[in-house]
Amino acid sequence: MKELEQLMFRLCKAPGISGGERLAAKVVAAELSDIAKVKIDRMGSLTAEFGNPKAKEHVLLDAHLDQIGLVVTGIDENGFLKVGRCGGMDARVLPGSAVTVYGKETLCGVVCCTPPHLQEGGEDQVPPVDKMSVDIGLPHDEVEKVVFPGDRILFHTQPKRLLGTRVSAAGLDDRAGVAAFIRCAQILSGEKLSCRVTILCSVQEEVGGAGAKTGAFSAEPTQAIATDVSFASQPGVRPVNIGKLGGGPMIGIAPVLNRKMTDRLIALAKEKKLPFTREVMGGDTGTNSDDIATSRGGVMTGLVSIPLRYMHTPAEVIDLKDVENTAQLIAAYLREVG
């Protein structure tokens, strides 16, 4: 678990806001280049291929590389940065947060928190993100030299070890999925597989899934498994049809997901005595699996999610055991394909 923790922290420390995933891709490439054929595609997504290149069955493993953040939309006359959401940023976690602005140089900033007596609604209201500002402590003219509209902003936070095998970091959604696939490739390296496997670390999931759409088209797989994070039980959330930290991978059941693959994943989890839960979704899954399943003429697709608390905050929490068990489950599945 120590090694997995270090891998997770390396992945989470690399910035990769939607549309700006280059540094995160570089870190993933370094992890996989010894055990797979790594490429970066035109959109910025990373692919890593291993297994039997001539096999008939080609399994695509998708985890998204990007994470939510902010994007600079303008600079006001006093030098404060106006910002927009890059993905589903939760306004409630922003006020007073330390952030990193990836401008011409890397800058430390603070999300403005107007004193309550000067703000309509006082402490009760949280303004929408497009009404918030980021303060880097510089006057307008100096800001213009180092920050441009379009620059990305991330929370300034370091991954933290919690008790047991639990960790917290910004961007575990979905670096946890990326880590599971890296682990899976490590487990299978040196083994002879009867299928071809492509790991796709896709860009821009948080803003519409462009990386998965184009990546799945290019890879042209015969089947696919997406791994994202999903809701784990936590205070304030009704404990119905959600996962649990340490409860193992959440195997998705939804109309768009291939039932045979889902059944096989469940059977394998039982055979290997891996903990798991079922996650049932009536409509779409809200993950890349929706786009991958409908790529080209259609792709049989499964979804295996890692339970996570406090999604889309800088304080996301997972249990590393769930990542390891996800990797073990997918490795077991891949051994059987072809």
Partner 1 sequence: MSRFELLRELCEAHGISGREDAVRNIILREIEPLADSVQVTPLGNIIAFQKGKKRPKTSLMLDAHMDEVGLIITDFTEEGFLRFSTVGGIDRRILPGKTVWIEGKLSGVIGVKPIHLLERDEREKSVPLKDLFIDIGAETREEAEKLVAPGDAVIFDSVFDLSHGKIKSKALDDRAGCALLIELMRDGLAYDTTFVFSVQEEVGLNGAKTAGYAVHPQAAIAVECTTAADVAGVERGRDVCRVGEGPVVSFMDRRTLYDREYYQLAFEAAKAAGVKCQPKRAVAGGNDAGAISTSCGGVRMASVSLPCRYLHAPVGIISQDDYEEAKKLLAVLAERIAETDTI
- Tokens 């068990």 sit on residue: 325
Q: Which residue has the tokens 């890397």?
A: 106
Task: Say if residues 309 and 246 touch (Cβ distance below 8 Å).
Answer: no
Q: Which is nearer to partner 1, 53 or 208 (CB)?
A: 208
Identity at 232, one-letter amino acid code? A
- From the candidates 205, 206, 279, 324, which is the catalytic residue? 205
- Per CB under 8 A, residues contacting partner 1 are 76, 78, 80, 88-93, 95-98, 107-108, 110, 112-119, 123-128, 131, 133, 135-138, 142, 155-158, 160-164, 166-168, 231, 234-237, 245-246, 286, 309-315, 317
- Spatial distance between the Cα atoms of 123 and 171, rounded to a whole number of angstroms: 28
Q: Nearest distance from residue 305's CB to partner 1, in Å?
A: 13
Residue number with CB closer to partner 1 (305 or 313):
313
| DSSP classification of residue 282 | S
Q: Which is nearer to partner 1, 110 or 266 (CB)?
A: 110
Active site residue 205: yes
Residue number, 45 or 157, with CB nearest to partner 1: 157
Task: Give me Rg for the CA atoms of the chain.
Answer: 20
The amino acid that residue 338 corresponds to is: G
Query: Rounded CA gap, 229 and 173, in Å?
Result: 6
Alpha helices in 242-281 (DSSP H): 259-271
| Shortest CB 16 distance to partner 1, Å | 19
Q: Closer to partner 1 at the Cβ: 49 or 279?
A: 279
The angle subtended at Cα 48 by Cα 46 and Cα 53, nearest 5°, is 140
Burial class (CB in 10 A: 0-12, 13-18, 19+), 117: exposed
Query: Which run of H or E residues covers position 325?
Result: helix 320-336
Q: What's the min distance (Å) between Cβ of 52 and partner 1?
A: 39
For partner 1, give the closer residue by CB, 134 or 219: 134
101 HSE (CA, 13 A, CB side): 29
The structure tokens listed for 206 are 């948080």
> Shortest distance, CB of residue 240 to partner 1, whole angstroms?
11
Q: Give the list of residues 6+ apart from residue 183 with CB closer than 8 angstroms, or none.
A: 4, 7, 323, 324, 327
* 87 or 211: CB nearest partner 1: 87
At its nearest, how many Å lie between partner 1 and the CB of residue 66?
16
Q: Phi first, then psi: what are they for 223, rounded to 5°? A: -155, 165
* In the complex, minimum distance from the CB of residue 88 to partner 1, in angstroms, rounded to a whole number: 6
Residue 111 CB, shortest distance to partner 1, in Å, is: 9
Neighbours of 127 (CB within 10 A): 17
Asked if 139 and 78 touch (Cβ cutoff 8 Å), the reply is yes
Q: Which residues are catalytic?
A: 205
